[in-house]
Structure 1
Amino acid sequence: MQPQFIIAAPHSGAGKTTVTLALLRALQRRGLKAQPFKCGPDYLDPKHHTLAAARPSINLDRYMMSDAHVRRLYAYYSEDADVSITEGVMGLFDGARKMEGSSASLAAFLKIPVILVVNARAMAYSAAALLYGYKNFFPEITIAGVIFNFVNTPSHYRILEEAAADAGIPALGYLPEQKHLHIPSRHLGLHISSETDYNHIIDAAADHLEKHIQLEQLLQLTSREKPPAPAADNTPAGPLRIAVAQDEAFNFIYRENINALSRLGTVTYFSPLTTRQLPPADLLYFPGGYPELHLEALAANTPLLTALRQYQGKILAECGGMMYLGNSITDESGQTYPMAGLLPVSTSMQQKKLSLGYRQVHINDVLLKGHEFHYSQYTASPGLTSPHIRVLNARHEPVSSPVFHTGNILASYLHFYFGEDVEGMGRVMGF
């Protein structure tokens, strides 16, 4: 038996991430192996989970992944853990289409209970109606308990505790608001200036949680039978040399993408900020990140830009990586910096506009899935996008997300997920 559960909420902004990080760190400090997961395509929360738990956090996404792949990942990474904690996405029932890919969908599929985090700052006994609705709306899930967030007095909590009891959901405690636990937001998600500062915040959040939450009761209520361990994959690695850009400018990477690439060959890393020459490689992988925050350093590394222009192998570039391969990037102030010039594309952080959503990309007979999340805008030479490529959203409607497939390069605003089907990506890339 193993405690395992999803941290969910009625809506975004209720405090799921802070509660998840605090739980992971509190359990880790007790000597328990707490395995983090993230429901959905987010690539930032898993970075935070990994720091809090000292174990890699894994995305579980029922839109980008098959059910068999989700089940295997959950079983594999939970196998040697004492506790498995999955952070939900948006509101409990919010998915790509209705509940598709939602936290509730994942909880029902994996048969694990839900711990609901409710922002009760401006709520009293009305919490009973909210909790009753969430408990009964979708009978295939079990809400094992509720944590009330932003509750500052014991008398307020007593009202909420009574509301939870009348709705038939155990109240596991409350968290008074602590402004010093707030994690600053950047345009692509939660951000903190340094790992040291972040560790202090996580430790403080864990201290705060242990004072107010009935942690032992939570673990007892969520104990379930462990999923059976999957069979080991003993496939020998292939011969490819793969170099992955990874530094402060490029670090939005799905862990399973790297594991998949390692089945094709040897994976090494380099930094477009500091590496002066490209490592020997048959494939260069530029994931997304924050190149717009490091434009001066990227533009100043002319030896690497020159080496890129002379490179003859394959290149896969996603979002920030695509921006880096273009002619230039313009920052918010209007200053333009030259980039690699491998694509006749220019991007700008001025007049920012959010582009967000799941995408499926049809390239000849191959289907690639991914997620788009960016604020920059682009201009490209007419006819650069390939006519044989179709891009659809989760509702199977055509969208104008650019996908550039030119010679040895596949570049897009999408963050592709190919942890399950690296062979499909290989067919598209020609390796």
Structure 2
Amino acid sequence: MSYAFLIAAPTSNSGKTTVTLGLMRALMNRGLSVQPFKCGPDYIDPMHHRQVAGRDSYNLDTWMSAEAHVSDLFARQRRTADVAIVEGVMGLFDGAVRDEGSPARLAMLLDIPVVLVINGRSMAYSAAPLLYGLKHFDPRVRIAGAIFNMVSGDNHYAFLRDAAQDAGVTSFGYLQRNERLALTSRHLGLSMPHENGMDELVGEMAGMMAQSIDLDALLGAVAAPETVATMSSPHSPGSLRIAVARDEAFNFMYPANVDALARLGEVTFFSPLADTRLPDADVLWLPGGYPELFADVLSANTSMMQAIRDHVEANKVTIAECGGFMYLSRLLRKDDQTYPMAGIFDVETSFHDARLTLGYRQLNLDGRTFRGHEFHYSTASFGNQRGIAQALTARNQQVEMPVLRYKNCLGSYMHFYCGEPHKMNELLGWLST
């Protein structure tokens, strides 16, 4: 039997990620293998998914890529697992424009049911109209049931269970309020998976779930036949040599991008922190991450920065996204300290006036359209170098975001989604010209 479901909530900060991680571990404790997915462009939650499930968590995003690609990606990646769990983003019906790209739309596309996470703090029978609305707003969305989070105990849960029953929604159980878990939840997006004792806390959540959530009822409600992946025509691996940065400083990269690169040749991972030279490569990919946390180490590794400069000066293809873009800037400023970087772009990045910038982004590069996501706290100031393209939001509004090119090197705050092989071919082909 195969199981698949999407975890969603009325709003952000309802506890989706903590419930997702706890359910993964609880089901794995039963001997089931779990394939995680993330709705939307986020790359931090998938790192936590991988830490728990031991598998790459794939992003499913119908704004950044075609629906056919999303469906096929879901079907292919879930084939070797007993349970497919998709963690939603924001609220159930929240999308880039209205519900476009929302968890609800994704659940309909994949034909999987939704398990709701409801924050029960300061709520009792008023959960009934909330659940009723979520269930009936769009009947095409199949609500399998609900899990209540932040519940004070059995007496509090009795009110919530009655509310669910009267709304026509199955209640699978609850997670009791635990301030230590709540604190961890607030820091999930601020820390790496191996930090702050996450593994121990996930184990604690799984134990709580085994006691207060009816996992048998949940599995019974989400059992379904496996979807069939479209079998692509056999292809010979390409001949490109591709170097991808991967370490504590550079770790925000969509797994589907790596898969698309692997179709074009051999992918070798390296560390700008620890290595002193690049692997032999035709293509260099510097993804996002946390270069600001390791600015001193990166700046001191002058041999690696020289190797990257040599690669770029040789007119070899280079893509630097967000943290990678910061690494190729002239200077990085943080905490009144200045750190020289690789200096490919005449740019200074700074955390002096740190503020969050995020959202979907679209670029038109000489008639080729690419989509992705912007998420960073740093700001950039420019010398003589000027942008080559105007970035647009999901609503086609212009937004200030640097998009720079030097020789065959592209630098930007945008995280490109090129999991569709033809998009990866387009991007690398454009940079080669």
State TM-score, norm by structure 1: 0.96
Task: Specify the alignment match of 2:363 in structure 1.
Answer: 361
Structure 1 residues 265, 65: closer, same or farther in 2, change over 3 A? Answer: same
Taking the TM superposition and a 5 Å limit, the aligned residue runs for 1:105-254 are 105-181=105-181, 182-183=183-184, 189-192=189-192, 194=194, 197-254=197-254
Report deviation, 1:194: 2.7
Task: Specify the alignment match of 2:372 in structure 1.
Answer: 370
Query: Which of 313, 320, 339 in structure 1 is aligned with 2:323?
Result: 320
Q: How big is each residue's C-alpha offset from its partner over 1:84-115, in whole Å with a ceiling of 9 and x where there is no partner? A: 11000011111111101110110111111110
State the distance in 1 between where 2:125 and 2:190 align.
31
State the distance in 1 between where 2:208 and 2:431 align.
49
State the distance in 1 between where 2:281 and 2:121 align.
54
State the distance in 2 between where 1:205 and 1:87 align.
17
State the distance in 1 between where 2:381 and 2:120 align.
45
Query: Which of 335, 346, 349 in structure 1 is aligned with 2:348?
Result: 346
Report deviation, 1:184: 6.5
State the distance in 1 between where 2:196 and 2:136 align.
43
Q: Is the 8 A contact 2:48 2:193 kept in 1?
A: no
Report deviation, 1:426: 1.6
State the distance in 2 between where 1:301 and 1:382 align.
26
Report deviation, 1:33: 1.3
State the distance in 1 between where 2:404 and 2:34 align.
40
Report deviation, 1:291: 0.3
Task: Specify the alignment match of 1:27 in structure 2.
Answer: 27
Task: Specify the alignment match of 1:272 in structure 2.
Answer: 272
Q: How big is each residue's C-alpha offset from its partner over 1:307-338, in whole Å with a ceiling of 9 and x where there is no partner? A: 2222222210000000000001111x221100
Report deviation, 1:190: 4.1
State the distance in 1 between where 2:55 and 2:28 align.
10
State the distance in 2 between where 1:115 and 1:141 align.
11
Q: Is the 8 A contact 1:108 1:140 kept in 2?
A: yes
State the distance in 2 between where 1:295 and 1:208 align.
40
Report deviation, 1:351: 0.6
State the AA in 1 paired with 2:215: L
Task: Specify the alignment match of 2:432 in structure 1.
Answer: 430
State the AA in 1 paired with 2:343: G
Task: Specify the alignment match of 1:93 in structure 2.
Answer: 93
| Local SS of the residue matching 1:150 | strand
| Local SS of the residue matching 1:37 | strand
Taking the TM superposition and a 5 Å limit, the aligned residue runs for 1:265-414 are 265-311=265-311, 312=314, 313-331=316-334, 333-386=335-388, 389-414=389-414
User: Aligned-pair RMSD on alpha carbons?
Assistant: 1.5
Q: Is the 8 A contact 1:368 1:424 kept in 2?
A: no
Q: How big is each residue's C-alpha offset from its partner over 1:129-183, in whole Å with a ceiling of 9 and x where there is no partner? A: 1111111111110111011100012111101100000000011111112233342
Higher alpha-carbon deviation: 355-364 or 421-430:
421-430
Q: Is the 8 A contact 1:184 1:191 kept in 2?
A: no
Gaps of 5+ in 2: none
State the distance in 2 between where 1:21 and 1:383 align.
44
Q: Is the 8 A contact 2:287 2:415 kept in 1?
A: yes
**Could you tell me the percent identity over the aligned residues?**
48
State the AA in 1 paired with 2:184: I
State the distance in 1 between where 2:162 and 2:329 align.
58
State the AA in 1 paired with 2:91: G
State the AA in 1 paired with 2:58: I
Structure 1 residues 353, 233: closer, same or farther in 2, change over 3 A? Answer: farther
Q: How big is each residue's C-alpha offset from its partner over 1:186-224, in whole Å with a ceiling of 9 and x where there is no partner? A: 6x9242473692221211111111111110100001112
Q: Is the 8 A contact 1:183 1:191 kept in 2?
A: no
Q: Is the 8 A contact 1:114 1:143 kept in 2?
A: yes
After TM superposition, where is structure 1 displaced by more than 3 Å over at least 4 residues in a row?
Answer: none
State the distance in 1 between where 2:342 and 2:324 align.
10
State the distance in 1 between where 2:233 and 2:351 align.
43
Structure 1 residues 299, 47: closer, same or farther in 2, change over 3 A? Answer: same
State the distance in 2 between where 1:407 and 1:189 align.
35
State the distance in 1 between where 2:79 and 2:194 align.
31
Q: How big is each residue's C-alpha offset from its partner over 1:13-45, in whole Å with a ceiling of 9 and x where there is no partner? A: 111001101111111121111111100000111
State the distance in 2 between where 1:61 and 1:160 align.
32
Q: Kindly tell me the number of residue pairs found equivalent between the two proteins.
A: 427
Q: Is the 8 A contact 1:94 1:102 kept in 2?
A: yes
Taking the TM superposition and a 5 Å limit, the aligned residue runs for 1:26-65 are 26-65=26-65
Q: How big is each residue's C-alpha offset from its partner over 1:401-428, in whole Å with a ceiling of 9 and x where there is no partner? A: 1111221111100000001021111222
State the distance in 1 between where 2:9 and 2:317 align.
42
State the distance in 1 between where 2:192 and 2:228 align.
37
State TM-score, norm by structure 2: 0.96
